[in-house]
Structure 1
Amino acid sequence: MTPQQFRDISYNGLWKQNTGLAQLLGLCPILAISTSMVNAVSLGLATILVMAMSNLAVSALRNFIPYEIRIPVFVLIIAALVTVVDLALNAFLHDLYLVLGIFIPLIVTNCIVLARVEAYAAKNDPLTSTVDGIMMGLGLVWVLALLGGIRELLGAGTLFSGIEMIIPGLSAWNVFGDDYPGFLIAILPPGAFFALGCLIAAFNAINANLAARARRRPPPSAQAAESPTAEPAATS
């Protein structure tokens, strides 16, 4: 993998083709589990692990999987890896496992995972496919973290609620103090739609601003011609 390939894959996963803001995939877990930052990030990290391993496995086996049955085989591979993650969470982070509940097994049906396996891993080498899975997962994680943080902060006035399930001894940060009454709608389903809609609007506005700035910027050839240090063209 060249450095340019790594930059392109990273930019696509983290921003340009962001699964939560650009492609709008996996909205069910994004909206349902983002009531707190810890819950949202935990599900996102589990999704990263599944995406990286499934991309690696499918890419390594792509030449041995008949085209006609590729989708059932891909789903079978993803289901096996999700089962491993599910059992590991149950064994080592049982309290968090109980909170995330059905959303860990539902990673099997998450269209984010299957879409990247079909669109990228089945056509590229294992290394770049694994990096693509990680970057696409990281793009989902930062959206989940931001969405969960906004909803938790407005709804309960805290951040990192439930962190003690992962790191014993730590506790939630009470940002607004004990007298904060809370904004109930922020942690209810309508709040998830409002918050995500605001994030998508901000994402589109930033992209529109970047596109407008790129259109106003002169092309490299024009910049070179206007440069005072540019050497005159040689004459025959």
Structure 2
Amino acid sequence: MTQEVMEPVQRLSQDLRLAAITLSEQEVRYLVDYYYIMQEDRKRAANQMRALGETEPTEEPHSVISWVAANSGVLERNVKSVLERYAKSKVPGEWAMTIPGIGPIIASGLLAHVNIEMCPTVGKLWSFAGQNPEAVWEKGQKRPWNARLKLVCFHIGECLIRAKSAKDGEFYGDLFDERKAYEWARNIGGELVDQAVAKLVKFNIGTDTDAHKWYKGRVTAEAAAVFLAESGDSQRKPKLVAAGEGLPMAVS
């Protein structure tokens, strides 16, 4: 990347870092959303460059695609730096980042979305974050949860899973493994058949996907147990049977 391209990006970054601690909650919400958008843009650009290299190995990636990928990475790191400074300026944000797997983006997202006056109890916060399984969004009614906070919670779960093998990350890792074992035991025991059938009806799940095969009942309880026992081998797949001969199972 040329110096002419880099300098405006660097100046913008410096200005934002200086003002980070004065950001409003609305501005932080925007930056958190924008960070995840940039992250996906960078991945798409990188995938495009990789695809070009595979189809035309003798050709250089187009300079515009290279520029997009490079700039996306720079801006992504700059926004992360800004949000880190913001999160560290707040006691709850600084505490959140002590939890293995929780970084400045998630910490800032929690700070910006969680209003303790609106959610004075754990139960209300749980519902507001879209984690109440009994909440129903009636037609014509306002959504009963905060969709952006629900997305932040999704990222929390993903990050805690990735961090479970890190130092001090065993607590959440053990919880995840324990819950996963519990849910799969229910699956193999046939307790989640209704959920699997309902999800297959409600959602447009591609018939050529592995998920569809599980929901459709193309895996027996015995094959599922073998698959779980060998799950360390990412290349293995469960033995399939005809639709309906197995046990419909809910997968995530």
TM-score relative to the length of structure 1: 0.27
Q: Which has the higher helix share?
A: 1
Higher relative contact order (CA 8 A, sep 6+): 1
TM-score relative to the length of structure 2: 0.26
